[in-house]
Amino acid sequence: MKRLTLAIMFVFCTLAMSAEDGIKVKFQGTSPDIMDFAWSWVTMMDGNPEDTPDESMTALRKSLEYYRTGAAQPAGYTITVDKNAGYILVEQTDEDGEYTHRWEMCYWNMADKKHKLFALCTELWQEGMRLNPGQYDGLMFFRYNNATKRMEYVDMGIEVEYFNTSYGLPRVGKDITVTKWNDSGKKTTKTLKWTGNGFSRR
């Protein structure tokens, strides 16, 4: 219960920080790409010294910053950036190789052609790729307005389960894969199908 409470608090803190004016998305060209969304999210507290980034955001920012400057990733970090697919995966493994923190990010173009939807999923995995829910786990969505160039937290009506459930954001296709794990390692999978405006179960 403590881990779940901390995860929910993390989501609400993110919402509180971005609710007033939204998050400004800075980019060059005619439209932001996935790195523009990711970098805008992870730097949204810049200029607010009273807000201290949590460990998860600090680690993610470190990897993105190295990528943006063309530097090699730090020890224990790997990053996959597919701008054509609108997808990023960052993984950080601790020195003992026991735990891996994963961040997946992607975005969709919405059917009204006026908005985009940016998603961030963060999960903690244990050696052998066993899901091990931690305090920063969560699945969050932000709706980007093409006119204002800002994105705001949005509730997509998905009941996120934090224990024994993982969420795979799409690099190929547009649907979210939801996998439930049990103690024996068996799993069941369902799909949240992208409709152009949100998700439906399939």
The secondary structure of the chain as a DSSP string is: -HHHHHHHHHHHHHHHHHTTT-EE---SSSS--HHHHHHHHHTTTTT-TTSPPPHHHHHHHHHHHHHHHTPPPPTTEEEEEETTTTEEEEEEE-TTS-EEEEEEEEEEE-TTSSEEEEEEEEEEEETTTEE---TT-EEEEEEEETTTTEEEE---S-----SSEEEE--SSSSPEEEEEE-TTS-EEEEEEEE-SSSEEE-
> What pLDDT shows up at residue 55?
75
> What pLDDT shows up at residue 21?
77
> What pLDDT shows up at residue 110?
98
Give the chain's residues under pLDDT 50: 1-9, 11-12, 15-16, 18-19, 49-50, 52
> What pLDDT shows up at residue 6?
45
46 burial (CB, 10 Å; 0-12 / 13-18 / 19+) is: exposed
Compute the chain's Rg from CA coordinates: 16
> How does pLDDT run across 119-165, given as a tens digit for each residue?
999 999 987 667 887 777 889 999 999 999 999 999 999 988 878 89
> What pLDDT shows up at residue 47?
55
- Which of 90, 103, 116 lies closest to 174, judged by CA? 116
> What pLDDT shows up at residue 54?
67
Instruction: Evaluate whether 27 touches 33 at the Cβ level (below 8 Å).
Output: yes
User: What angle do helix axes 55-69 and 34-42 make, rounded to 10 degrees?
Assistant: 140
